[in-house]
Homo-oligomer: A and B are copies of this chain.
Amino acid sequence: MDTDQVSGRWDANKGACPTRQVLSRIGDTWTMLVISTLERHGTMRSGQLKAAIEGITQKMLTQTLRQLERDGVVRRDVVPTVPISVSYTLTPLGQSLGVAVATMRTWAYDHMDEIVAARNDYDDRPTAEE
């Protein structure tokens, strides 16, 4: 029972498994928003991403893009315009991650009403234990 759904070498339930850090990275909200925004729009410049993702700071966007580039999820291209500009595109690896992120995002959209109803129920309960 302990081994099903665990994929041979990897098990994020183990503290030292490197997939836990990857899970933490890809589950980050800014990361998910950058990935799904690039998936939707294709190649984008940093300023376009910043405009498309309300509330992201330049620092957080730069840091997120750099980590995604390092992980091979995003490709950074220097465009020889004047002045030089830089564009970002999902790699094939990033596109496959985009599918997983879309599943999470779609789940949130599809179940938001149920979550709100559950919260209202919970908050209305007498708190016998407290």
Q: Contacts A12-B108, A13-B33, A107-B97 given: A70-B122 contact, CB under 8 Å?
A: yes
Tell me, yes or no, whether A83 is within 8 Å of chain B by CB: no
- Closest 3 pairs between A and B when the two form their complex, measured CB to CB: A72-B118, A27-B27, A15-B55
Q: Contact between A70 and B29 (Cβ–Cβ < 8 Å)?
A: no
Tell me, yes or no, whether A59 is within 8 Å of chain B by CB: no
How many copies make up the complex? 2
Indicate which residue in B10, B24, B69, B115 contacts A112 across the interface (CB closer than 8 Å): B10
Q: Contact between B7 and A116 (Cβ–Cβ < 8 Å)?
A: no
For window 23-49 of chain A, which residues contact chain B by CB distance below 8 Å? Answer: 23-24, 26-29, 32-33, 36-37, 39-41
A89–chain B nearest beta-carbon distance, Å: 15
Tell me, yes or no, whether A104 is within 8 Å of chain B by CB: yes
Indicate which residue in B18, B93, B104 contacts A118 across the interface (CB closer than 8 Å): B93
CA distance A82 to B80 in the complex (A): 73
A118 surroundings in chain B (CB, below 8 A) = 70-73, 93
A115 surroundings in chain B (CB, below 8 A) = 22, 71-73, 93
A122 surroundings in chain B (CB, below 8 A) = 69-70, 72
Indicate which residue in B22, B108, B110 contacts A26 across the interface (CB closer than 8 Å): B108
